[in-house]
Amino acid sequence: MKRLLYILMMLILCAYITACENDDNGGGSISQVTDVQVTPYFGSVILNWTNPSDDDYYYTLVSYTNANGEKVNKKVSCFDVDDSGRTRVIIGGFTDENTYTFTLTSYGYSGATSTPASISAAPLSTDAVKDYVATTVNVASAVQGAEVSWKNETGVECYVVVSFLDSKGIKKEKKFNARNSGKGIVASFVETTTLTVYVENTSGGKSDSRTFDVSPKLGEISKNGMSIYSVSSDWGGCLGSYLIDNDIYTYWHTQLSGYPHNIVIDLGSEYNLNKIELVRRQDDNGNGQWAPNRVQFLYSLDGQNFTNIGEFDFDVQQIFGHEYSFAPVYGRYIKLIGLSGGQTWMHMAEIYFYYMP
């Protein structure tokens, strides 16, 4: 009798252990997502659904098998809901128009899972993304140019191509990678200019062109696209880049090697300019006055061949007010040379560039 009771207890224990091992949902279950809908998109599909109302709901796992036979999983948080209370996600990266089945499984914080919900759809051809992105292009005025923006939620690579005549009447073309939504700057022109824009896909197909008439802004040239092209020296961590960081309390400081000292700023694109402003180092305990007393500016289109703008006096007693106007020039690279000063070194806090009509 005892032997029979022992065997019965072992059978019950084994059944319990087996049940625990087969329990993949953390010992519980959660409701499915509901009202699942799918919209074919360019190289992708758009899924949207209503999340479970369970307090335990954490995320939805979207799974499918790609064209290479690999299983792909994407987690979508319970917080990724729109204003209507639905969740929307784009599943992209498709290069064919085959039909794919997408499985959506709800998960709870406790590890509980739902019964999967499934839906099938075929993505649209990626070739057509060029036409879609072209309709989203917008153009706005920028300093001596235009800001071109576009939308692309598909993740399909394509290119926004912009052509125009610059201030010298030379045709310029600029190409932006538009795989994702973004924007870019085209320059330089100082009068109302027509921009021609089209979108090209990776196979060379082009959308219809659109044209935009843009009146540029004039004044200070933004430093967002600027960089230091070359510098004769720097010292003590006071780098040349501090000259264009928009912070008048940092400064470029050269080695103590003797004049002349020079630095070349890449404006990031060709610009018209007719005024440059310098700001001296801030501290006034003696060190601030060891700025150059004579400076020179030159400009270039290629960073190698420079043309003189002029030589100017620099009042070392003044922090501000160093503004130098000259006949308009057109270039991308500006060289600042310190010609002479009271010590063998020089420093400068900031430099600004302008085109004043």
Q: In terms of pLDDT, which residue wins out, 243 or 17?
A: 243
* Cα distance between residue 272 and residue 167, in whole Å: 8
* Secondary element (H or E) of residue 356: none
Q: What is the mean pLDDT of residues 304-333?
A: 97
Residues of the chain with pLDDT > 70, as a percent, come to 92
- Residue 21 reports pLDDT greater than 70: no
Q: What is the mean pLDDT of residues 20-48?
A: 80
- Residue 18 reports pLDDT greater than 60: no
Q: Per CATH, is 127-217 categorized as 2.60.40.10? A: yes
Q: What is the mean pLDDT of residues 3-25?
A: 45
What pLDDT was estimated at residue 68? 93
- Residue 145 reports pLDDT greater than 50: yes
Alpha-carbon distances, residue 89 vs 47, 85, 276, 337 (angstroms) = 5, 13, 50, 55
Q: What is the mean pLDDT of residues 128-144?
A: 96
- Residue 22 reports pLDDT greater than 50: no
Tokens of 126: 């990626």
Helix (H, G, I), strand (E, B) or coil at 78: coil
Q: What is the mean pLDDT of residues 125-150?
A: 96
DSSP string, 125-169: PGGGHHHHHHHH-EEEEEBTEEEEEE---S---EEEEEEEE-TTS
DSSP H helical segments within the chain, as ranges? 2-21, 129-136
Q: What is the mean pLDDT of residues 24-47?
A: 86
Which of 3.90.470.10, 3.40.190.10, 2.60.120.260, 2.40.170.20 is the CATH number of 227-355?
Answer: 2.60.120.260
What pLDDT was estimated at residue 167? 87
160-216 pLDDT, tens digit per residue, is 999 999 988 999 999 999 999 999 999 889 999 999 999 999 999 999 999 999 999
Please report, for the chain, the start and end positions of each structural domain, with discontinuous segments joined by +.
25-121, 127-217, 227-355
- Residue 24 reports pLDDT greater than 70: no
Mean pLDDT of the chain: 91
Q: In terms of pLDDT, which residue wins out, 47 or 14?
A: 47
What pLDDT was estimated at residue 3? 52
Q: What is the mean pLDDT of residues 295-311?
A: 98
Half-sphere exposure for 238 (CA within 13 Å, toward CB): 21
What pLDDT was estimated at residue 19? 41
329 with 272: CB under 8 angstroms? yes
**Considering the domain 25-121 in this protein, what is its CATH number?**
2.60.40.10
Least confident of 234-248, 279-293, 300-314: 279-293
- Residue 14 reports pLDDT greater than 70: no
CATH fold match for the domains 25-121 and 127-217: yes
- Residue 303 reports pLDDT greater than 90: yes
